[in-house]
Chain A
Amino acid sequence: MLKYILKRFMIMLVTLWIIITLTFILMVNVPGSPFNSDQSSNETIKANLEAHYNLDAPYHIQYLNYLKSVATFDFGPSIKQPNQTVNDLLGRGFPISLELGLVTIAVAVISGIILGIIAALRHNGFIDYMAMGFAVLGISIPNFILATLLIQQLAVNLNLLPPATWSSPAHMVMPVLALATGPMAIIARLTRSTMLEVLTQDYIKMARAKGLSPWKIVFKHALRNALMPVVTIMGTLLAGILTGTFVIEQIFAIPGMGKYFVESINQRDYPVIMGTTVFYSAFLILMLFLVDIAYGILDPRIKFHKKGGE
């Protein structure tokens, strides 16, 4: 197990390095500079500024500097936000984005699984058709459209919920709904179909032949097996939710990391771009690793290490 984790850790580092390199290549190749939009600045000031931020150095020096900043986890000051280091921005934005992300995942996973189970148990019944119709809608409506619809209906027309920002549980409802509906729908459909398949398996028939109650059969014998494919797609869903937070944070004016990320790209705030990208990537890579571990716990057939002779 330890050996497996170490190996995975090495792979994670390599992945991160590739991402940093790609980000750097993209950054230096995208036209524009942090100081272009500044009308007042003339050529001399610009040159001075670039020298100050080390942007006039040859690319390979800049690249090495970035690698160093990642290794020490110190991305330096932001160019566009005076008196703020990138770490300050991350420290402020990340907890909020994390909260949004985790609540979304919890809502999507729990309600998706419950919906999927109910649909499977009421297979081809009214509830099943309702749930699956709802799921198709959920999958096909993009989260930003759903967000806009929610704001219009729940905040503007009905005045039920605050339209934006992030300061109380009521503020969470719409962003989380907008972000969770898609993944929830995907989980619900997948849970339903794997559940239906699992319920036809011999070991379920065997469980019935033991005289177990339907409740026990579903939760003890079927669910765990039915959840394995759901865990498999969790990686993709996590990535989707993560990118979704950029958009949703913009729409609801939530001061999370996504806001800084999008802004930094528009403003060519190179240290912030690098800092947020590395942070997002590292976080996602770590989550994918946790998904793999969870899969191994769910399925005893998966071994992280090979014992001799087996």
Chain B
Amino acid sequence: MSALFPFHGGLKTVRHKTESNQTRIWTAMLPPRLTVPLRQHIGAIAKPLVQPGDRVLKGQMIGQPDGYISAAIHAPTSGIVSAVDPQPVAHPSGLADLCVTIESDGEDRWINRQPVNYPHLHPSELRNVIRNAGVVGLGGAAFPSAVKLNPSGRSERLDTLILNGAECEPWITCDDRLMRERAADIVAGLQIMAYLLGPYEVMIGIEDDKPEAIAAMSAACVRTGYMVCPIPTRYPSGSVKQLVRLLTGKEIPVDGLPVDVGVQCFNVATAYTVHRAVNFGEPVISRIITVTGQVHGPGNFEVLIGTPFAALIAQCGGYREGVERLILGGPMMGFALHSDDAPVTKAANCLLAVGPAELAPELPVLPCIRCGACMDVCPADLLPQQLYWHARAKEFDQARDCHLFSCIECGCCSVVCPSHIPLVQYYRYAKNEIWALEKEKQRAEQARQRHQARMERLEREKQEREAKLRQKAPRVEVVASSGKQEG
């Protein structure tokens, strides 16, 4: 195994893994109603293919990818579409987004599934299978995987294909359980990815606090030539930039992508869904999610996309006393849900109910004392204190100069700040404002051009009218005089 290349900063956080990783993955119950958002991925929202009243089968495509960077959405069960309208979704804003609501008929009847024998397919056809199965990155970002599996446009072969099984956030164990129980399936998916990308080497990064997962994956990788690499348990080792550096020593450039350094990186759960899509013809209609924290029976559940969080919580025996916050994702980067009636999406890896025991008391915010504690833990090698200074003063240009957009919002800085400043929120705010300003600028430019075009058109029309007027001048006079006569 190769040597590791540690990254700067990071944190040793609390783990809280054993609450949920001691039992096998449970299959969640089929809820009577599923609300399937049409935007579960990065990119354009899928175009609905169904209307209220339509009967759908499990696995039937109900949302079509709209453009290259988009993903297909499928019916998680059979039933009748009762609505295609905006419903509350899991989003930090708590706003609604377009969803397809399906009333389950309880039969869970599959559409005709067509596994493919992939070595006989042209890579582009195989990519289409994966695209049509709605495969997206299940680690959280939900980027359409077919796009990342396309090596075209690159002359050289890919150096390294990395499978991310780090799972560095506290509490989350869904990838851990998946690797322990379905290692062979993951490796089967990985083989498909390797077939498409043709990398020189394949590495699987797993944090060393998951010895069982490492053992299972190593066993499954025998005779494949894939390397299972235990990595030190240090948040955020599962962030793409940090993991790539850790395993290969390469740094993804600022504003760059992994492919820029000859690396491509996928989550273990994504590999699993690729396997299901290709070898079983099953689109992504379910995922494994950790439900943990202040619930009676924490664990991992294989749950249909569109299942309301409340139904999932009910299956774990409900909340314990004093739950204050429901977090989607981990405690470091996850966001607090407004309510538990939003549905499970492809990107939802953990549902964490927390109460006063887990949440530090909210401490009063003091001025920054420039102690540099934030800088010492920043895995992006930023100066969070300077960024904060500029974001707070709304000096967006300076914030950008200080590489605001290199911030991965990992939250390490906020955790250690002795002044308890919500640093990450300042960075998010600044990023959002910069994007909005940019959009605004584009809009203004568009309006300026349209206005100018209109002015030119009016001018042209005026000239044309005048020209016509000059041509017809004598007649105009006649008309005018006849008018006078009438008057």
- A and B form one complex: no
Chain A residues packing against B (C-beta within 8 Å)? none
| Interface residues, chain B, with chain A CB atoms under 8 Å away | none
